[in-house]
Structure 1
Amino acid sequence: MTLRPAAVSPNLALDQEVARRRAAGAPVVHLGFGEARVPLHEGLTRALLDGAGRTAYGPVAGDPGALRAVAGYHARRRLPTEPGQVVLAPGSKPLLMALVAAVEGDVLLPCPAWVTYAPQARLLGRRATAVAVPAECGGVPDPDALARAVRAERKAGRRPRLLVLTLPDNPTGTLAPPSLVRRVCAVAREEDLIVVSDEIYRDLLHDPATPFLSPAEAAPERTVVTTGLSKTHALGGWRIGTARFPAGDLGTALRDRVLATASEVWSGLAGPMRAVADYAFGEPPDLAGHVRAGARLHAGVTRAVHRVVVAAGADCRPPAGGFYVYPDFEPVREALAGHGAVDSASLERVLLERHGVAVLGGHHFGDDPRALRFRAATSLLHGATDQQRRTALDSADPAGLPHVARELDRLAEALAKLTA
């Protein structure tokens, strides 16, 4: 028997490569991995220790207390929710894959889109169709292009059924405005698409006054919302994710199918993590303040990186949430070509191998491989130690701190050499 070659997800592979280079003594400005990197709140540590005695298997969907906490979390965000509409899992990634498995049909994605969506569809034998995003933001496809894509897929005999949206977006760091969300949801309703709204960055808006409309408000009968604690609480390694299903028969059927997959794949969220979920989604005031402080930190550093790439000649949408920017270096293509950077893969390679800057090329996100675009994740600039990260969290100007400014200067120097 011959097995086809497979590859580790590019963001995880790049993070491992950076670790290897650093272990060998090479300095690297790491902008290639979306790990939140804010200090751990002490209440989360207490919750973990309190849950350490939970060694028995728990309910597949999650403990009743944690389900109530997640339901309350959504209710505070204009999404009235019953505990029976919620499922917890070891991270939102397995929930997303279980949702693809639960829906009998193919997947529609904005282009560019997070590196995991399309591979999950392919692993399950589903087709993933990328649809261009509008000029102003990523995370949602252009509504007119979406309608055309659905009809073209059906004309070709395929079954587009699941639409994945990201608000705020990874990789572009932008947020679709409410008017655009409504238009996309109108297409979803007209074409009878099920919507998955990945809102894991929702609580990391750079300006908390920015209008946010969840697709679960615009199309409540057909939208599943996924989120987790990896980004807002910097708990990527603890693996805690949730899904909120719509009320009604469709939501019940989808939740039942996801639970069937969960029972055969991950059984349930680990006991200590169920205690953490109960505490974190309950949002006690001190923890909520910690999350807001983290959002301010992400905003300050991400805006600084945005200034650096724009100064180097890139076109780049201003970031609105999370910790990403997605610059386009097409305006300086001729200069980059002189250094061997002629597409996103070679730009990624030149930056890492010659200048010690790690980014993820746009081709990993389904973008045109000929384009000169990459995603820069900014949160690893907060500091190499917990003390540096705490200093950054408490600072009114984190980008001005010496340890952050040094990394920004190294990025600026590398881009200047490539684009001069």
Structure 2
Amino acid sequence: MAVTLSATLAANEDIDRRRRAGERVLHLAFGEAGLPVHPALRDKLAAASERNGYGPVAGTSGLRAAAAGYWTRRGLPTDPDLVVSGPGSKSLLYGLLLAIGGDIVLPMPSWVSYAAQADLVGARPILVPAPPGEGGVPDPDLVAEEVRRARAAGRTVSSLLVTLPDNPTGRLATPETVARLVDVARELDLTIISDEIYRDLVHDPALPYTSPADLAPERTLVTTGLSKSLALGGWRIGVARLPEGGHDLRARLLAVASEIWSAPAAPVQEAAAYAFGDPPELTERIASSRRLHGVVARAVHERFVAAGARVDAPQGGFYLYPDLSHLRLGGSAELTKILLEEHGIGVLPGHAFGDDPAAARVRVAVSLLYGDTAEERMAALASPDPLRLPWIAQNLDFLTTGLRELSLTRRGTAGALAATPSHG
């Protein structure tokens, strides 16, 4: 089995090397939340620093109860006994793939680690395009056809996965699409994995949000964590809400967890239990983060639109997925290389997300534009108009210039081709 470094982590390390070497690179390639730790969380972690025992595999009772309360307040009544914690939702997703077994249906495009994890556990992902204008969900009309075809060929297809809202597109599937997908899952007896780590970062709180667990609690498991909403990526903590009656699945997941990570870090669990309680100071921080992500993502969206890209407006998280095929500079790998090496703009190629390599689509993450220091990032959080802060304005100007030069490169290439004498 050929295993390579995750595309997001590889790009982050490459850009860091380039920056250390003195290159000016606009870092739009990494899904880091880009914000400081809230002092209250730092205090909770420090207070629990001497808790060095392993603890229960599923996580402490306090954390599981807090996570159950988190979901219950969002309309999903939750039994703490059906909550499992792990060192990040990414680890939990891997454990769940092992515990569920069989092949899995994924949206195309989708986060780079879903298909990679499926490969690692010996499953074969079935990539199904998302409906036009949406992201994070496989098109319900195509799922049934693909699953029946795979099963007719002797494959065991057990699950499908959605991301609400989505990485890489920044879009949120409509309640209607989610409902149609749930109907297909029931018809085909598929377990639904709903990755909702960006749920609290939907830019417009009035935008309708439907989790598959709202409609099919008996077959939906939900994962989330604190790495995005509270910028705790390095703390590695996540939780999974298992389906109603999912005690057998819980036993299988805990068996996997016991052999891979034993138990989540005890001090981090204490801080996470506090965070999942939705204390006012943290809900205020999340609201400020959500506003900042939305403002900057929309500003970046405007610049790609001005450059002629086809790109849906972002609705959640800190991502966009522009299509620059009109420039005819090659597929996603070629475009990514040109942007980085000739214009100092680091993005991720769409093919890393399972997309067609010939399509000139790239994933753009805006969350590292907020500043290079904790002071700058806090200023961005607090500012009523973060786009006017000098460092953010400079980053946006750099992006505008790079995209303009990229378009001029295309026109220059076209002109050169037109001027080339024919030898036919």
Please tell me whether the aligned partners of residues 343 and 406 of structure 2 are also in contact (alpha carbons under 8 angstroms).
no
Q: Residue 357 of structure 2: which of 369, 375, 383 is its match?
A: 369
- Give me the identity figure in percent: 54
Other-structure match for 1:381: 369
Query: What secondary structure is seen at the aligned counterpart in 2 of 1:379?
Result: coil
Alpha-carbon distance in structure 1 between the residues aligned to 2:27 and 2:40:
29
The amino acid that maps onto 1:408 is L
Equivalent positions of 1:261-272 (< 5 A) are 261-272=256-267
Within 5 A, what are the aligned runs for 1:246-265?
A: 246-248=243-245, 251-265=246-260
| One-letter amino acid of the counterpart of residue 84, structure 2 | V
Q: Deviations over 1:161-184 (max 9, x none)?
A: 110100000000000011110001
Q: How far 1:6 moved relative to its partner? A: 3.0
Q: Take 2:187 and 2:47, find their aligned partners in 1: how far apart are those partners?
A: 48
Shift of 1:399: 2.0
Is residue 123 of structure 1 aligned with residue 120 of structure 2? yes
Letter paired with 1:69: A
Task: Give the whole-Å Cα distance in 2 for the aligned partners of 1:23 and 1:230.
Answer: 26
Separation of aligned partners in 2, 1:212 and 1:15: 31
Aligned runs of 1:4-83 on 2, under 5 Å? 5-83=2-80
C-alpha displacement of 1:104: 2.4
AA at the equivalent of 2:249: L
> Partners in 1 of 2:167 and 2:48 — Cα distance?
32
Equivalence for 2:412: none
Residue type of the partner of 1:188? A
Correspondence 1:210 to 2:203: no
Partner in structure 1 of residue 416 of structure 2? none
Aligned to 2:237: 240
Partner amino acid for 1:287? L
Mapped to 1, the partners of 2:66 and 2:12 lie a distance apart of 33
* Residue number among 370, 380, 383 corresponding to 1:395 in the alignment: 383
Aligned residue among 158, 163, 171 for 1:166: 163
CA-CA distance at 1:400 after TM superposition:
2.3
Which aligned pairs between 1:283-298 and structure 2 lie closer than 5 A? Answer: 283-298=278-293
2:140 paired with 1:152: no
TM-score (norm. length: structure 1): 0.96
Residue number among 221, 226, 229 corresponding to 2:226 in the alignment: 229
Contact 2:111 2:167 in 1 (8 A): yes
Counterparts of 1:19 and 1:330, CA distance in 2? 28
1:10 and 1:136 map into 2 onto residues whose CA distance is 25
Name the residue aligned to 1:104: 101
Q: Provide Cα deviations, 1:112-133, integer angstroms capped at 9, x if missing partner.
A: 0000000100011110110011
1: CA distance, partners of 2:19 / 2:372 = 12
Q: Which residue is equivalent to 1:417?
A: 405
Deviates more, 1:221-230 or 1:398-407: 398-407
SS where residue 158 of structure 2 aligns? strand
How far has the Cα of 1:9 moved from its partner?
0.4
Q: Aligned equivalents of 1:154 and 1:282: distance in 2?
A: 43
Q: Distance in 1 between matches of 2:279 and 2:123?
A: 41
Native 8 Å contact 2:104 2:160 kept in 1 = yes
Unaligned runs of 5+ in 2: 409-424
Give 1:362 deviation, angstroms.
0.1
Letter in 1 for 2:380: A
Between the two proteins, the alignment pairs up a number of residues equal to 408
1:318 aligns with 2:306: no
For the residue of structure 2 that corresponds to 1:55, the secondary structure is coil
Q: What CA deviation, in whole Å up to 9, does each residue of 1:308-357 have, x standing for no partner?
A: 11110000011000000000112332xxx3xxxx0100111111111111
Structure 1 match to 2:300: 305
SS at match of 2:369: helix
Aligned partner of 1:360 in structure 2 is: 348
Whole-Å separation in 1 of the counterparts to 2:43 and 2:60: 18
Is the Cα–Cα contact under 8 Å of residues 29 and 364 in structure 2 kept in the other structure?
A: yes
How does the TM-score come out when normalised to structure 2? 0.95
Structure 2 CA distance for aligned equivalents of residues 56 and 104 of structure 1: 31
Counterpart-to-counterpart distance in 2, 1:377 and 1:132: 21
- Aligned-residue Cα RMSD (Å) equals 0.9
Q: Deviations over 1:59-85 (max 9, x none)?
A: 111111111100000000100001101
Cα displacement (A) at 1:5: 4.7
The whole-number CA distance in structure 2 between the counterparts of 1:85 and 1:224 is 10
